[in-house]
Amino acid sequence: MSVSRSVIAVILIAGMSAGLTGRQIVTPTQPQRRPDVRYLPTPQNVVDAMLELAHVTSADVVYDLGSGDGRIPITAAQRYGARGVGIELDPALVGLSRDNARKAGVDHLVTFIEGDLFKADISQATVVALFLLPGMNIDLIPKFRSQLRPGSRIVAHHFAMGDSWPPDESRDINGLMIYVWNITP
């Protein structure tokens, strides 16, 4: 048995003896970096328009990068029956999101992960929602192109991805812009 397998075996045995179930993940904690943007919630009418413009259905898995209070994945679950995943760096907002999902009765459809959106695996997403700064959106383009499958959509509130990737569609919602990109083969 290699050293890494031995370590994994010890963690699994320790977890089982501590009463952990297979659904819980034991990982070493790492200090998180500071958020690149401060939390500013997307207005609910814009959330509704984003999900509509992205043509969300119950077959979708909606990832929200920088998910804040969780309103985008929660709304996708409530209105469309979609599954949702929020990636958020701030542990307090992750806790708030989980509480909001429970109160909305959709905690069985949504998951909130405390993590770095630049490091997160988004390959299971069919829709990715963003409300980030333009430079962050542009920095995410290689991730989108490498991890998202054809047919996936990206929907962004307020900021596009610069001249390097023009949106396929845009809409003005009372002075607030929404942009959509479709992943093609």
pLDDT digits (tens, 9 = 90+) for 85-103: 999 999 999 999 999 999 9
DSSP class of residue 140 equals: H
**What is residue 34's predicted lDDT score, i.e. its pLDDT?**
64
- Percent of the chain topping pLDDT 70: 80
**What is residue 78's predicted lDDT score, i.e. its pLDDT?**
98
Domain boundary assignment for the chain? 1-30, 44-182
Whether 7 shows a pLDDT value over 60: the answer reads no
Question: What DSSP string runs through 30-51?
Answer: -PPPPPSS---PPPHHHHHHHH
β partners of residue 16: none
Whether 114 shows a pLDDT value over 70: the answer reads yes
What token pair was written down for 180? Answer: 């959509």
pTM of the model: 0.80
Beta pairing, strands 127-130 & 153-157: parallel
- Percent of the chain topping pLDDT 90: 76
CATH fold of 44-182 reads Rossmann fold (3.40.50)
- From residue 113, how far is each of 5, 27, 48, 116, 121 by CA, in Å? 26, 13, 22, 9, 11
CA triplet 136, 56, 131: central angle to 5 degrees? 20
